[in-house]
Amino acid sequence: MSLAFTIAELTSLTGAKSVEGACLAPITGIAALAEATPGDLSFLGNAKYAEAVAASKAGAILVPVTFEGEPAAGQAFLRVDNPSYALALLCSVLESRLWPRPAPGIHASAIVAASAKVDPAAHVGPLCVIAEGAMVSAGTVLEARCHVGAHASVGSDCWLKPGVTVGDYCILGARCRIQSGAVIGSDGFGYEPVNGEIQRIPQIGNVVLEDDVEVGANSTLDRARFSKTVVGRGTKIDNLVQVAHNVRIGRQCLITAQVGIAGSTTLGDHCVLGGQSGVAGHLTLGDRVKLGAQTGLFEDVPADGFMNGTPAVPFGLERRLVVLSRRLPELFKKVDSLAASLDSAKSQTT
Amino acid sequence: MSLAFTIAELTSLTGAKSVEGACLAPITGIAALAEATPGDLSFLGNAKYAEAVAASKAGAILVPVTFEGEPAAGQAFLRVDNPSYALALLCSVLESRLWPRPAPGIHASAIVAASAKVDPAAHVGPLCVIAEGAMVSAGTVLEARCHVGAHASVGSDCWLKPGVTVGDYCILGARCRIQSGAVIGSDGFGYEPVNGEIQRIPQIGNVVLEDDVEVGANSTLDRARFSKTVVGRGTKIDNLVQVAHNVRIGRQCLITAQVGIAGSTTLGDHCVLGGQSGVAGHLTLGDRVKLGAQTGLFEDVPADGFMNGTPAVPFGLERRLVVLSRRLPELFKKVDSLAASLDSAKSQTT
Amino acid sequence: MSLAFTIAELTSLTGAKSVEGACLAPITGIAALAEATPGDLSFLGNAKYAEAVAASKAGAILVPVTFEGEPAAGQAFLRVDNPSYALALLCSVLESRLWPRPAPGIHASAIVAASAKVDPAAHVGPLCVIAEGAMVSAGTVLEARCHVGAHASVGSDCWLKPGVTVGDYCILGARCRIQSGAVIGSDGFGYEPVNGEIQRIPQIGNVVLEDDVEVGANSTLDRARFSKTVVGRGTKIDNLVQVAHNVRIGRQCLITAQVGIAGSTTLGDHCVLGGQSGVAGHLTLGDRVKLGAQTGLFEDVPADGFMNGTPAVPFGLERRLVVLSRRLPELFKKVDSLAASLDSAKSQTT
């Protein structure tokens, strides 16, 4: 960050009820209590870290109104109702200052097809390509080196970071946020054997991101074989995630990093997929299904299911199996000892 | 898709033997029976879905010549010998219309080194970079923002989607198809400890893709330490796949999404690697080896081997181990009960 | 490679003590003994391959001074103290010839903000974007299509391959080497539920790569929620690796391909993470911790720990559990047989 705040500004931005002490230098960063330096603002977000306040070198600390303690020399306490909420308020303000919305207009170096429609209230950054028939709506920001393919459409108030590729015919709803290197609309991986050679099946569908979808850096979403691959409203996809052709992800899902979802699988709403988990093709997951990290799922899961392990089983069973499998050395010994004991019992009785 | 077809056009494109009924609106999409709307064409690809035909709202349906049933009002049946094949025919036509081959020529915004050789019958899109000594052959399409590195060579009739990077000295055969964000020829990950510091080993080889290779979005293929990393003719690589330095992949293999193949490993022909599987370095896999999804392979596999699990074992054994491991709770109980029973037997005999 | 060397040149470059035999053609490649052709240099790096020398078709072979054997007709032996070291010397020379450092200067097609500071001794390639307030230091090479975000800083003597994205406010130390498609500074994946909707938490920190860090192709490093995500001096990151927000990686670590490290986790120095392994969030790993390939780690690990499996356990235990789990079929049979034997013993005693 390259911003500097006085205590007075911070007081105003966080809605602090009162200030104690004073810090000498402007505040130029935010850090955890243990790591903060005199130029940092810190915060007591959880009562269990209360002791860390006294040891903190932060120039300013957001503390609850009821916090018992006093600032060190050269340190300011900003007393607020809820330090976490106050911090979030501040971060939102900081974000809007660190990333001011670029002015509308098309950079001179961008290549925009004559048949493309770019709303005058959109921003198209340097070296972007807007192909024929494509549409970019009002309030949308395309940072540098973005690609909007032929007949693709980017809705209003989206923000595409540098180097995003939106494939031909793909559709983004309003307020989508796409990180660098993400590819929306690569070809689906569809092949069939023909006389011992692998032949490509045309992939002529598209990808549709509904409103408020976010996609992480270098994630890949394949276009449908025909029809569409869909990501439902409000769903957030992390980095390096693979969404195969014809997948349908519901609304308000969280798909964490490096997850893979194979072709034609359907997810309900509010699903949460842990990092590096994988879902096989042609499955149906109900609403609110959860998968633990690295899970490999090969079967349908009804609503509210929580699966774990590879191949996945219900979470409780998986936890039990893990515990028991770690007791295998003990079990093998016990069985050996039972066998010996039985042998000796037999020899005694004969 | 943004195309519209009359029933007469569809009849011609699919080679339909006869048409029954009539649909009111032009056909503008393709969808599964259950999801189709009056503007969609659907198809009965598998006899088991025959009942779905009557319930379908599709404007037109490809059905077998022998199918017993009649179209609903405002719906057309196109009777064909093989609906799946007819659909494939149609999709190929649609694909060539949706993605017409761009005209030969070099976009004014592309940066082409004076020493590069671009065939006049190649298409080089906006903002591409063709570095010194590079070669692009006839019939090849480089969409926007592609990079062909110094002394690299792209064969004839290849198609590189927007944002592909072909590294210096790398070689692509004919008819290769590369999705957005793929990197062909990143440095291999080669280091050695020198006095407690990690020192880079120069990676001076290249990557060679033989004819008809396809590479998915954001996949990475590392150049060899020296010599070459090779992907054999006709092999298809999905998205987000990692191929390390000096790997040799045979012909007609299918490498699905998020697979990782570590350095110097060799795969035979016709191998199939399931999603998210990983293969350790310096291994040899014979022809037609299969790995299940998420498999972690740490040993050589002879031809026709099918391995599963981490660490991988032959598929049949892995299935058996999975079944037995789920019976661990039962086994632990049984052993406890045996122990109790033996104790009681002993106490009876003493 | 596109270089050609005479034996005399190779003798000089490798510091060979003596040469025997002579090869007919110039040497234009390097290959393993078994694969080399008359145009290749090969080497005997390990005494166990001594027999392969006699069978090799290499035009020239680096052999130890003490090697017993003679070159074939048309083949030269270059006798050196240490063939592996001699080869490394040669490869370094080759690398510097194959990738000569581009001349300083900014390509006419690059878009450089007026407020950016590019050292005159830096090279900025075609179609790069250097945003406002960014800094590029002396000796650094940005190949084509690189992006240096607003107020970001790239230290001296870095080398960014084509298509790298350095996000706004991120900082690279000296001598960093970044492969194509890598994204340094994507948004962290931070959300919280608000009235049943998933709401984004601003990610206003940055990413700091210390000196001598290398990052592989298409890897993604998220900016911190606030403060910074840090990769320590000399650490090497392979392709397709995910480093989440607020992660702190120590010095001289090796993070191999497709690894994922979840948010706020801290790694010590000299850690080695095997391919496709995953580390959960908010963990602490000590110095020299090792994870096997595909490991899923869900707990802290003290210094020198070596963990394996999912969920991870110490390596020795994991090896033992794997062996025992493969003996499950035998164990189930043994328990059945014990039960039968006990039954029969009981029936005998009653």
Is the pLDDT score of A86 beyond 70?
A: yes
Tokens of C40: 């290749």
The domain that contains A168 carries what CATH number?
A: 2.160.10.10
State whether residue A4 sits within 8 Å of chain C by CB.
no
CB pair distance less than 8 Å for C144 and B127: no
Are C158 and C77 in a shared domain? no
Number of domains in chain A: 3
CB atoms within 10 A of CB C138: 14
Cα→Cα distances A333→C70, C212, C336, Å: 59, 51, 16
Residue C212: predicted pLDDT: 98
Is the pLDDT score of B218 beyond 90?
A: yes
Residue A1: predicted pLDDT: 44
Are A154 and A139 within 8 A, CB to CB? no
Are B18 and B143 in a shared domain? no
Q: Report residue C324's pLDDT band, with 50, 70 and 90 as the boundaries.
A: very high
Are B204 and B93 in a shared domain? no
Spatial distance between the Cα atoms of C223 and C239, rounded to a whole number of angstroms:
18
**Window C:107-136, CB contacts with B under 8 Å:** 107, 109, 125-127
pLDDT tens for C235-278 read 999 999 999 999 999 999 999 999 999 999 999 999 999 999 99
Are B51 and B138 in a shared domain? no
pLDDT tens for C184-202 read 999 999 998 888 889 999 9
CB pair distance less than 8 Å for B226 and C180: no
Tokens of C294: 């595909």
Which segments of B64-132 does DSSP mark as H helices, in order? 83-98
**Window A:38-97, CB contacts with C under 8 Å:** 88, 91-92, 94-95
Are A305 and A330 in a shared domain? no
CB pair distance less than 8 Å for A95 and C341: no
Q: State the amino acid at position C178 in one-letter form.
A: I
Spatial distance between the Cα atoms of A255 and A235, rounded to a whole number of angstroms:
8
Residue C1 lies in a domain: no
The subunits that touch chain A, with at least 3 C-beta pairs less than 8 Å apart, are B, C
Spatial distance between the Cα atoms of C221 and C202, rounded to a whole number of angstroms:
16
CB pair distance less than 8 Å for C240 and A240: yes
What letter would DSSP give residue A23?
-
Is the pLDDT score of A308 beyond 50?
A: yes
pLDDT tens for B246-285 read 999 999 999 999 999 999 999 999 999 999 999 999 999 9
Spatial distance between the Cα atoms of C113 and C118, rounded to a whole number of angstroms:
10
C215 class by beta-carbon count within 10 Å (0-12 exposed, 13-18 middle, 19+ buried): buried
User: Own/partner pairs for A244-247, CB < 8 Å, 24+ apart?
Assistant: A244/A188, A244/A189, A244/A281, A244/B257, A245/A187, A245/A188, A245/A189, A245/A190, A245/A203, A245/A205, A246/A188, A246/A205, A247/A222
- Smallest CA-to-CA distance from C176 within C129, C202, C125, C211 is with C211
Residue B60 lies in a domain: yes
pLDDT tens for A2-58 read 578 899 999 999 999 999 998 888 998 888 898 899 999 999 988 888 899 999 999
- Smallest CA-to-CA distance from B183 within C163, C95, A161 is with C163
| C218: nearest CB among B181, B203, B320 | B181
Residue C17: give the domain boundaries: 7-98
| H-helix or E-strand spanning residue A231 | strand A228-231
Residue where the block lists tokens 């590019």: C118
Residue where the block lists tokens 């189709």: B36
Cα→Cα distances C302→B93, C242, C280, C321, Å: 61, 23, 15, 21
What letter would DSSP give residue A164?
-
Residue B324: predicted pLDDT: 97
Q: Report residue C149's pLDDT band, with 50, 70 and 90 as the boundaries.
A: very high
Are A219 and A240 within 8 A, CB to CB? yes
Are A336 and A323 within 8 A, CB to CB? no
pTM value is: 0.94
Residue C146 lies in a domain: yes
Is the pLDDT score of A334 beyond 50?
A: yes
Residue C191: predicted pLDDT: 93
Q: Min CA distance, B95 vs chain A (Å)? A: 6
Spatial distance between the Cα atoms of A110 and A112, rounded to a whole number of angstroms:
6
What letter would DSSP give residue B47?
G
Tokens of B198: 């990690």
pLDDT tens for A188-241 read 999 988 888 898 999 999 999 999 999 999 999 999 998 899 999 999 999 999
Are B195 and B91 in a shared domain? no
Are A187 and A246 in a shared domain? yes
Backbone angles phi, psi at A133, to 5 degrees: 75, 0
Query: Which of A77-86, C2-11, C239-248 bottoms out in mean pLDDT, i.e. has the lowest?
Result: C2-11
Spatial distance between the Cα atoms of B296 and B278, rounded to a whole number of angstroms:
5
Tokens of A189: 């991986």
| B144: nearest CB among A133, A147, A200 | A147
Spatial distance between the Cα atoms of B167 and C273, rounded to a whole number of angstroms:
27
The domain that contains A50 carries what CATH number?
A: 3.40.1390.10
Residue B2 lies in a domain: no
Residue C49: predicted pLDDT: 87
CB-based contacts of A347, cutoff 8 Å, min separation 6: none
Backbone angles phi, psi at B157, to 5 degrees: 55, 30
How far does Cα A247 stand from its chain's mean position?
18
H helices, E strands: number in chain B: 5, 38
Is the pLDDT score of C1 beyond 50?
A: no
CB-based contacts of C143, cutoff 8 Å, min separation 6: C102, C125, C159, C160, C161, C162, C164
How far does Cα A130 stand from its chain's mean position?
27
- Smallest CA-to-CA distance from C304 within C272, C278, C264, C263 is with C272
Residue C2: predicted pLDDT: 52
Domain boundary residue, one of B54, B76, B98? B98
Q: Min CA distance, B184 vs chain C (Å)? A: 9
Is the pLDDT score of B1 beyond 60?
A: no
Are A66 and A211 in a shared domain? no
Q: Name which residue leads in pLDDT, A226 or B333.
A: B333
CB-based contacts of A316, cutoff 8 Å, min separation 6: none
Percent of chain A with pLDDT over 70: 99
> What does the mean pLDDT of chain C come to?
95
Spatial distance between the Cα atoms of C258 and C93, rounded to a whole number of angstroms:
31
| A328: nearest CB among C131, C321, C349 | C321
Are C126 and C109 within 8 A, CB to CB? yes
Q: State the amino acid at position C30 in one-letter form.
A: I
H helices, E strands: number in chain C: 5, 38
pLDDT tens for B93-138 read 999 999 999 999 999 999 999 999 999 999 999 999 999 999 999 9
Which residue of chain C comes nearest to B152, CA vs CA?
C1
Residue B79 lies in a domain: yes
Which residue of chain C comes nearest to A95, CA vs CA?
C204
Spatial distance between the Cα atoms of C89 and A39, rounded to a whole number of angstroms:
48
CB pair distance less than 8 Å for B186 and C239: yes
Residue C125: predicted pLDDT: 98
Residue C349: predicted pLDDT: 66
Residue B350 lies in a domain: no
The subunits that touch chain C, with at least 3 C-beta pairs less than 8 Å apart, are A, B
Highest mean pLDDT among B50-54, B288-292, C18-22, C43-47: B288-292
Tokens of B77: 């049946």
Residue A194: predicted pLDDT: 82
Residue B347: predicted pLDDT: 80
Are C184 and C325 in a shared domain? no
Which segments of chain B does DSSP mark as H helices, in order? 7-14, 50-55, 83-98, 315-326, 328-349
pLDDT tens for A246-279 read 999 999 999 999 999 999 999 999 999 999 999 9
Spatial distance between the Cα atoms of C254 and C277, rounded to a whole number of angstroms:
12
Percent of chain B with pLDDT over 70: 99
**Window A:169-228, CB contacts with B under 8 Å:** 169, 181, 183, 186-187, 189, 191, 196-198, 200-206, 218-220, 222, 225-227
Q: Name which residue leads in pLDDT, A126 or C29.
A: A126
Spatial distance between the Cα atoms of C184 and A26, rounded to a whole number of angstroms:
28
Are B72 and B119 in a shared domain? no
Query: What length is written for chain B?
Result: 350
Q: Taken in order A100, A103, A108, A110, is the CA torsion positive or negative?
A: positive
- Smallest CA-to-CA distance from A209 within A229, A189, A190 is with A229
CB atoms within 10 A of CB B208: 24
CA angle C42, C46, C52 (to 5 degrees): 55
Residue B255 lies in a domain: yes
Exposure letters C24-53 (e unless 16+ CB within 10 A, then b): eeebebbbbbeebeebbbbbbbeeeeeebb
Are A308 and A295 within 8 A, CB to CB? yes
Is the pLDDT score of A335 beyond 50?
A: yes
Percent of chain B with pLDDT over 90: 85
CB-based contacts of B190, cutoff 8 Å, min separation 6: B200, B201, B203, B225, B245, B263
Q: Min CA distance, C235 vs chain B (Å)? A: 8
Are A199 and A89 in a shared domain? no
Residue B206 lies in a domain: yes
Q: Report residue B45's pLDDT band, with 50, 70 and 90 as the boundaries.
A: confident
State whether residue A29 sits within 8 Å of chain C by CB.
yes
Q: State the amino acid at position A343 in one-letter form.
A: D
Residue where the block lists tokens 């090779």: B230
Are B89 and B225 in a shared domain? no
Active site residue A245: yes
Instruction: Give chain A positions within 8 Å (CB) of C127.
Output: 127, 145
CB pairs under 8 A between B and C: 187
CB pair distance less than 8 Å for B218 and A298: no
Is the pLDDT score of A181 beyond 70?
A: yes
CB pair distance less than 8 Å for A204 and B98: yes
